[in-house]
Amino acid sequence: MTAKKLLFAAMSAGIAMSMYAAGEQIVVETDDNAIVFTVGDNNRLYQSYFGQRLNGAADYKALPLGTEAYLTHGMEDYFEPALHINRADGNPSTLLEYKKHETVSHEGSTETVITLADPVYGDEVVLHYEAFGPENVFKSWTEITNREKTPVELEKFASSMLHFDAPKYIVTQYSGDWANEVNSLDQELHFGKKVIDTKLGARENMFVSPFFQLSLGDKATETSGDVLVGTLGWSGNFRFVFEVDNLGKLRVISGINPYFSQYPLAKGETFRTPEFIFTLSDKGTGEASRNLHDWARRHQIKDGKGDRMTLLNNWEATYFDFDENKLVSLIGEAKELGVDMFLLDDGWFGNKYPRHSDTQALGDWEVTADKLPNGIARLTEEADRQGVKFGLWIEPEMVSPKSELYEKHKDWVITLPNRDEYYFRNQLVLDLTNPKVQDYVFGVVDGLMTKYPGIAYFKWDCNSPITNIFSNYEGKNQSKLYIDYVKGLYSVLDRIAAKYPDLPMMLCSGGGGRTDYKGLEYFTEMWPSDNTDPIERLFIQWGYSQVFPAKVQCAHVTTWNKKAPVKFRTNVAMMGKLGFDLNLHELTSEELAFCKGAIKDYNRLKPVILDGDQYRLVSPYSGNHASTMFVGKDGRQAVVFAFDVHPRYNEKLDNVKLQGLDATRNYSVREINLADGSQSQDVKTYSGKYLMTVGLPLFTRNDLASRVYELKAQ
C-alpha cells in the first residue's frame, strides 16, 4: 500500500495519522500541559518541550529542537540511554528514525502513538503517550519489536524518557524500611546520576516507593512551584534514573530495573514496558497530588468510583491465637461497633503443619480442622446472621519450607540449586513464571470462593521479597525471572478479575511492600504500613497521599501507642479507609461510644474524604502539629483534621488557612467527633474568603490532642 492509501485507510477508520517528516511537530496535550516532539532534519525524534500549554502551533514552532526523545545506546550520546539492544551480529547500537504517528481517542483520554525504527536492522520502537485532559495526567510506555531474522536481547528498555532544562532540580524520594515507610527526603541534583531503584522482586517497595517528585527550580511547596510527580505502574523491580549532563540539562528515565533482567526477544516478538504515570503542576505538590487522585479514581483503581467498607480485623486482636468461638465473638463485636465487615487474618489454615506461627503452612490452604472444626462456612454464616460481610487473609504467592506444598512441589519454588536456602520471614516465593504455579495460585482464590461463596473480600499479603533467585521453569533464561514473575502475577490477577469482577481485595505486602498503580488496577485498596502508631501514620499517610488518594490507604485503629487517646488514633485513621484492629473489651465504654459515633460520622463523610479533593495544610514534618482537609467535589462540604503532637511550652499558635473552598460562599463550621462521641453545639459561620485568608485557630498546646471540623456551605 502506498503511504497515501495507508493514510486514507487510517482516516476512514477514525484514527488520525501522520507520515510527514522533517520539521513535523507532534503535540501531546492535557488541559494545562503540553509535550511537544519535533522530527529533525535527520529524521530523528526530539523532545522540544514539556511544560504549560502555549498558545498553539505558532508558539510550538518557535521552540528550539531540544534533545533526542528516546536516546539509544551506541550512538552519539554520552549519557544513560533509554534503550539498548544486543544483536546476534554483535552490533549493540540502535538508531531510531521517525516513521509515523497517530492519535487514538479513548473515553477520557487521547493516545498519541509514535513509531520509530532502525533503518538498518528494522527493529521498531513505538512510543505511547496517553493524555488525560482534565486530570492533567500523562501515561507513557514503549513497545519494542524485534524485526530481525534472529533473536535479540533487550539490555535496557525504559518506559519513558523525559528531558528538562531548569535552573535547579530537586528530587524528593520516599524511602525507609518495614514499619518506617515513605520518609520524604529531598536532594538537589548536580552533574551526574541519582538512581532510585529496587531489586526485591516481590514486596518490591519495602525500602523505597515507586514514585518521586521533581521540583524544577526551587523546591515546590504544597501551593507553589513547578513540580513533576511520577510513578511506575509495575509490581516488580523499578528504576528511576535522574542524570544531569554537562550542559546542566536533566533526563529522567523510568521503567523496569534492568538489573539482571536482560530480556530475549524472538523474531517478530514485541516487548511492552509498564506505564510511567506522571503529572506536571506549576502550583505545587498539592495540585499535582489532586491530579493523580482524580485520575486514579476515574481511570485506574479497581472500583475507583465505588464505595469502600469499614472493617474489624483480628490480626492485632489475636495474632495466631484464636478459635471458632473467639472469631464468632469478634464477628459480634464488628456488628456492635457498626463496621461493614469482619476480616479474618493469618492463622486459619494448615493441618499437617498448622499455622500457629509464621514458621509454617503457607501453601496449605485448607482450614485447620481442630481450630475451626466447622470451617470458614460457620464464620460466613455467622457474619451473615449478624449482617456484616466476611473477608479472608491469604498469601498465595508464598510457601513455607515446612508445608505439604513444599514437600510435594519443590520444583514450584524459587530457590537456588547447590546452595543452602535462606529465608525472609521463614518463607519462600512460588515460581509464578510457571503456568502450573499460576493455575495453583488462581486456584487458591477460586477454590475458596467456590467452597465459601460467602467470602466478600480478600486481604492478599506478600511478605517476602524474591530470595534465592533461581527458577526451574526459566531454565537457561534466568534473567527473565524478575519480569516473568510479575507477568505471571498479572495473568493470575487477570483471571481472578475476569471470574470475580466485583470482589474487593486489599493489596497488602507486609505493610507498604506493594504500592503501585498497576497493582491497584486489581485491588481496591492497599495496606500502607504495619506501623499503626498514629503519630507515625501522620507521616506515612502524608507520604503516600502525594500519589495515592485516601480511598486506597487502609488505616486501622489499633493499640499501637496507647499514650495517644483513642480519639487521636481514630481521627488519624479517618483520613484514610477506616478500619479497626483491636479487642473491643480493651476500650472503656466512653471510648467505645466514641468509636461508634466516629464510624457514623465517617460513613456520612466518606464521599468527602474518599472522593473529594485533599489539601495538605500543615505537614507533620514542619514541627509539632499537622492538618489535612478534604473538600467535597461540589464544594459544599469539607472536613478538616487537626493534630497536636508534642507542642512546646507556651508556643505561638498560628491560624491555619484553609484551602479549596468557594471564597464567595458562607460555611458553617462545627467540631465533630468530640471525645464523648457527640458533635459540638457551637456552630460558627465564616465566608470561604475568611477561612482561606485569615484561617482558623486549629491547634492547641495539648499533647496528642486532635479535632475534626465539618464545614457546610449555606
Site for ligand DGJ in 434-453 (CB under 6 A): none
Could you say which of 511, 597, 677, 688 contacts ligand DGJ (CB under 6 A)? 511
Q: Considering the rule CB under 6 A, would residue 222 count as an interface residue with ligand DGJ?
A: no
CB of 394 to ligand DGJ, least distance (A): 10
Long-range contacts of 602-610 (CB under 8 A, 24+ apart): 602/310, 602/574, 602/578, 603/310, 605/574, 605/637, 605/639, 605/710, 606/307, 606/308, 607/632, 608/632, 608/637, 608/638, 608/639, 609/550, 609/574, 609/575, 609/639, 610/308, 610/549, 610/550, 610/551, 610/577
CB of 398 to ligand DGJ, least distance (A): 10
Q: What are the φ and ψ backbone dihedral angles of 649, each rounded to 5 degrees?
A: -60, 125
Q: Which residue has the cell 485503629?
A: 557
36 three-class SS? strand
Do residues 581 and 530 lie in contact, with contact meaning Cβ atoms separated by under 8 Å?
Answer: no
Between 240 and 560, CB nearer to ligand DGJ: 560
Do residues 352 and 402 lie in contact, with contact meaning Cβ atoms separated by under 8 Å?
Answer: no
Of 178, 225, 167, 231, nearest to 200 by C-alpha is 178
Between 265 and 372, CB nearer to ligand DGJ: 372
Between 81 and 510, CB nearer to ligand DGJ: 510
Catalytically annotated residue among 340, 346, 364, 530: 530
Q: Considering the rule CB under 6 A, would residue 611 count as an interface residue with ligand DGJ?
A: no
CB of 238 to ligand DGJ, least distance (A): 21
Between 345 and 644, CB nearer to ligand DGJ: 345
Could you say which of 129, 164, 393, 473 contacts ligand DGJ (CB under 6 A)? 393
Site for ligand DGJ in 328-387 (CB under 6 A): 345-346, 358
Helices (H) and strands (E) in the chain, counts: 14, 38
Site string for ligand DGJ, 667-686 (x = CB under 6 A): --------------------
CB of 178 to ligand DGJ, least distance (A): 9
Whole-number CA gyration radius for the chain: 27
Interface stretch with ligand DGJ, choices 258-266, 384-392, 506-514, 536-544 (CB under 6 A): 506-514
Site for ligand DGJ in 1-20 (CB under 6 A): none
Q: Is 676 one of the annotated active-site residues of the chain?
A: no
Instruction: Give the integer Cα–Cα distance in Å for 571 and 578.
Output: 9
Between 278 and 548, CB nearer to ligand DGJ: 548
Q: Considering the rule CB under 6 A, would residue 517 count as an interface residue with ligand DGJ?
A: no
Interface stretch with ligand DGJ, choices 94-102, 163-171, 304-312, 507-515 (CB under 6 A): 507-515
Q: Considering the rule CB under 6 A, would residue 533 count as an interface residue with ligand DGJ?
A: no
Instruction: Give the integer Cα–Cα distance in Å for 101 and 117.
Output: 12
Site string for ligand DGJ, 105-134 (x = CB under 6 A): ------------------------------
Measured torsion, CA atoms of residues 348, 354, 355, 360, in degrees rounded to the nearest 10: -150
Q: Considering the rule CB under 6 A, would residue 525 count as an interface residue with ligand DGJ?
A: no
Burial of 369 (0-12, 13-18, 19+ CB in 10 A): exposed
Do residues 161 and 251 lie in contact, with contact meaning Cβ atoms separated by under 8 Å?
Answer: yes
Between 194 and 402, CB nearer to ligand DGJ: 402
Of 575, 611, 599, 702, nearest to 650 by C-alpha is 702
Of 84, 240, 86, nearest to 171 by C-alpha is 240
Instruction: Give the integer Cα–Cα distance in Å for 512 and 509.
Output: 6
Between 510 and 688, CB nearer to ligand DGJ: 510
311-313/525-526 β-pairing: unpaired
CA dist list (Å): 515 to 5, 398, 548, 554, 668: 46, 18, 9, 12, 37
Interface stretch with ligand DGJ, choices 51-59, 113-121, 206-214, 505-513 (CB under 6 A): 505-513
Beta bridge mates, 16: 103
Interface stretch with ligand DGJ, choices 293-301, 504-512, 603-611, 672-680 (CB under 6 A): 504-512
Q: Is 461 one of the annotated active-site residues of the chain?
A: yes
Instruction: Give the integer Cα–Cα distance in Å for 23 and 649.
Output: 66
Interface stretch with ligand DGJ, choices 47-55, 299-307, 508-516, 613-621 (CB under 6 A): 508-516
Could you say which of 130, 204, 333, 461 contacts ligand DGJ (CB under 6 A)? 461
Catalytically annotated residue among 123, 294, 461, 516: 461
**Is the dihedral angle over the CA atoms 542, 218, 291, 249 positive or is it negative?**
negative
- The residues, ordered by sequence, that sit 6+ positions from 562 with a Cβ below 8 Å of its Cβ are none
Between 362 and 493, CB nearer to ligand DGJ: 362
Q: Considering the rule CB under 6 A, would residue 315 count as an interface residue with ligand DGJ?
A: yes
Q: What are the φ and ψ backbone dihedral angles of 636, each rounded to 5 degrees?
A: -95, -15
Q: Considering the rule CB under 6 A, would residue 294 count as an interface residue with ligand DGJ?
A: no
Site string for ligand DGJ, 129-158 (x = CB under 6 A): ------------------------------
Between 72 and 314, CB nearer to ligand DGJ: 314
Q: Which amino acid, residue 638?
A: A
CB of 427 to ligand DGJ, least distance (A): 10
Q: Considering the rule CB under 6 A, would residue 527 count as an interface residue with ligand DGJ?
A: yes
Q: Considering the rule CB under 6 A, would residue 530 count as an interface residue with ligand DGJ?
A: yes
| CA 100 distance to own-chain centroid | 33
Between 508 and 573, CB nearer to ligand DGJ: 508
Beta bridge mates, 156: 84
Instruction: Give the integer Cα–Cα distance in Å for 314 and 309.
Output: 16
Q: Considering the rule CB under 6 A, would residue 536 count as an interface residue with ligand DGJ?
A: no
CB of 511 to ligand DGJ, least distance (A): 4
Between 274 and 354, CB nearer to ligand DGJ: 354
Binding site for ligand DGJ (CB under 6 A): 315, 345-346, 358, 393, 461, 463, 508, 510-511, 527, 530
Active-site amino acid positions = 461, 530
